[in-house]
């Protein structure tokens, strides 16, 4: 039974990281209907900036996390400004391909730095003995990751519910024409959506980097793993991203814990999300919490 609870705990940890990664993805999709395939790269860049600031410049990690969130805020905003703004109204394939091109460009830039080829790990700043919850263990780093995720997500929820900017972003995602007519600058909102996505990406990257170590491949793979999460949750639902993130984390941990090694299966955690994705697309394409507005043939 403790094995089961151990899996639940690690599932929640992984799931909360997925939730945070998916959050940025959903923010961009919700406001501008852009599928950002380069999200994993932004996550990686955020993690690297935090590392560089903490280790190379000697800034305390929480301060450097905030600084790197600021950096990706402007990175993502300028990406939107330079590449995507002029593609508003272009066919969907152009927009998707631009984010793919962006992914390649960021890949190239990262490979220029040492982070592209070498592995780094964050200095340990929390106690290394895990917390014992009656036989179930959770490390301090993981706990910190979950806490930061919860804080970030509740912060975002508050932002979208109460602040004027957040409300205008929701308005744009609801109806662009109507929000233009009441004086909301739609391009500015697109930029802001990208910026907030960049901000959450840096946080996600830093948490992942702390838990698994800094490896470019692992980090940017999160940009692809968010697809099953956001489809399960519904492409345009922030609540969906959170719930689906945790569900996906649990499914992966259970698969790794119970399926692997039996019946000749191996590495099921890697493939199960995509199989679930295909099934959801076939039977319930709008996901758990998405708006039931799928364009059908």
Partner 1 sequence: MATNRWLATGNYHISYQDEQKIFSTHLDRSIFIVFLSALFIWPLFFEVSNKFMLVIDNIMIAVVAIIGLNIVTGFAGLISIGHAAFVGVGAYTLASFSRVLGDSNMLLTHAWPLMIVLSGLMGAVFGAIVGLPAMRLKHLYLAIATLSFQMIFQWTINFMDFFDQGQTISIGRVHWLTGEVARKDHYVFWYYIILVFIVLCGFMVRNLLRTRYGRCLSAVRDNDRAADAMGMHPGFTKVYAFGLAGFFAGIAGALHAYLYRGVGIESFTLHESITYLAMAIVGGLGTLHGSFWGPAAIKVLDLQVEILAEKAAHFLPASMNLATALRPFTFGLVIVLFLMFEPRGIANWWRIVKSYTKLWPFRY
- Contacts with partner 1 by CB under 8 A lie at 35, 83, 86-87, 90, 92-94, 96-98, 100-109, 111-112, 116-117, 224, 227-228, 231, 235, 264-267, 270-271, 274-275, 277-278, 281-282, 285, 294-297
Least Cβ distance, residue 154 to partner 1 (angstroms):
28
Structure tokens at 108: 């190239």
Query: Which alpha helices (H) appear in the chain, and where do they start and end?
Result: 2-32, 39-51, 61-79, 92-112, 140-162, 164-174, 176-181, 186-212, 216-233, 238-254, 268-283
CA distance 156 to 204: 14
The whole-angstrom separation of Cα 55 and Cα 47 is 12
Residue closer to partner 1, measured from CB, 2 or 94? 94
Task: Select 86 or 161, whichever has its Cβ closest to partner 1.
Answer: 86
Q: Is 132 in a helix, a strand, or coil?
A: strand
207 Cα distance to chain centroid: 11
Taking the complex as a whole, the smallest distance from the CB of residue 113 to partner 1 amounts, in Å, to: 9
Q: How far is the CB of 171 from partner 1 (least distance, A)?
A: 22
Least Å from the CB of residue 219 to partner 1:
15
145/287 with CB nearer partner 1:
287
Rounded to the nearest whole angstrom, what is the least distance from the CB of residue 270 to partner 1 in the complex?
Answer: 6
Residue closer to partner 1, measured from CB, 132 or 293: 293
Exposed / middle / buried, residue 278 (Cβ in 10 Å: 0-12, 13-18, 19+): exposed
Q: Give least dist CB 185 to partner 1, A.
A: 22
Question: Smaller CB distance to partner 1: residue 189 or 269?
Answer: 269
For residue 138, the surrounding DSSP H or E stretch is: strand 136-138
Residues counted in the chain: 297
| Cα dihedral: 28, 34, 37, 42 (round 10) | -30
- Compare residues 191 and 290 and give the one whose CB is closer to partner 1: 290
* Tokens coding 185: 């600058």
Nearest to partner 1 of 124, 265 (CB atom): 265
Best CA proximity match to 80, nearest among 56, 102, 58, 60 = 102
Burial 91-102 (b: 16+ CB within 10 A, else e): eeeebeebbeeb
Quick one: DSSP state of residue 133?
E
Structure tokens at 38: 């380069």
Shortest distance in whole angstroms from residue 178 CB to partner 1: 23
């Amino acid at each position: 039974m403790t094995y089961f609870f151990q899996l639940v705990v690690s599932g929640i940890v992984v799931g909360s990281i997925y939730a945070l990664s998916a959050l940025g993805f959903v923010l961009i999709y919700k406001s501008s209907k852009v599928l950002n395939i380069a999200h994993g790269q932004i996550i990686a860049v955020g993690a690297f900036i935090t590392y560089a600031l903490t280790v190379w410049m000697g800034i305390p990690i929480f301060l450097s996390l905030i600084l790197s969130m600021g950096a990706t805020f402007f990175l993502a905003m300028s990406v939107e400004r330079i590449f995507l703004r002029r593609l508003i109204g272009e066919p969907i394939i152009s927009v998707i391909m631009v984010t793919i091109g962006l992914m390649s460009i960021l890949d190239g830039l990262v490979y220029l730095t040492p982070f592209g080829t070498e592995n780094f790990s964050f200095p340990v700043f929390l106690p290394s003995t895990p917390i014992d919850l009656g036989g179930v263990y959770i490390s301090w780093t993981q706990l910190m990751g979950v806490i930061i995720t919860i804080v970030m997500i509740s912060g975002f929820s508050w932002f979208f519910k109460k602040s004027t900017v957040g409300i205008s972003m929701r308005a744009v995602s609801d109806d662009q024409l109507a929000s233009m007519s009441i004086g909301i600058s739609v391009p500015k909102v697109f930029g802001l959506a990208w910026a907030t996505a960049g901000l959450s990406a840096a946080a996600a990257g830093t948490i992942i980097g702390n838990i698994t170590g800094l490896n470019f491949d692992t980090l940017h793979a999160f940009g692809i793993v968010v697809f099953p999460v956001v489809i399960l949750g519904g492409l345009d639902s922030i609540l969906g991203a959170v719930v689906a993130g945790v569900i996906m984390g649990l499914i992966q941990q259970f698969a790794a814990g119970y399926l692997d090694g039996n019946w000749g299966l191996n590495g099921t955690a890697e493939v199960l999300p995509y199989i679930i994705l295909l099934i959801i697309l076939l039977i319930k394409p709008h996901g758990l919490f998405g708006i039931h507005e799928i364009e059908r043939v």
